Amino acid sequence: MESTIEGAAMPNAVILQSEGLHEYILDTAVYPREAEPLKELRKATASHPTAFIGSSPDAGQLMAMLIKLVHAKKTIEVGVFTGYSLLLTALAIPDDGHKENEGRFDFAFVDADKENYLGYHERLMKLVKFYKIKMAATSAESSAENSAETETLAAAVTLGKSKGN
């Protein structure tokens, strides 16, 4: 979702207004709750030249909470960088849950090429169960001409409900 590199551009700058506040939230509320395998993967990813495209641990905790909230057992993910969100999902679903490549899903996460979000959204609307959650990542790196469209689409994907399920 946003940066995993320390000192990189601050995510959600409009909301937080302060890099210090963001660091405080990470240090006191996010990092202490992060599972050790996720922490190790985040630190390994930090040295990658394009680490800024990886899922952030604070967004990951939101994702894990949503997965648990809807008791998701079958999940699908479109777009994987180093696997932080994929590992997070695997850790968040119950022991009898699993990642799938086909069928009906309880939770979908999209963090892929932004220009194809509409196509992903349309397909996932047919695959995700009614009243379950689809989550899409947005990026501060979106071009100015696509940013409003991307933000609107991300909200639609996050809040969307498939009909007839």
Q: What is the pLDDT along the chain (165 residues), one digit of tens a residue?
A: 444 444 445 454 556 778 888 899 999 999 999 999 999 999 999 999 999 888 889 999 999 998 998 889 999 999 999 999 999 999 999 999 876 667 889 899 999 998 999 999 999 988 987 655 566 666 544 444 444 444 444 444 444 444 444
Domain extents in the chain: 13-159
Look at residue 71 and give its three-state secondary structure: coil
pLDDT at 64 (0 to 100): 94
Whether domain 13-159 has CATH 3.40.50.300: no
User: For the CA atoms of 57, 59, 65, 71, what is the dihedral angle to 10 degrees?
Assistant: -110
User: For the CA atoms of 64, 47, 78, 96, what is the dihedral angle to 10 degrees?
Assistant: -40
**Whose structure tokens read 């890099």?**
19
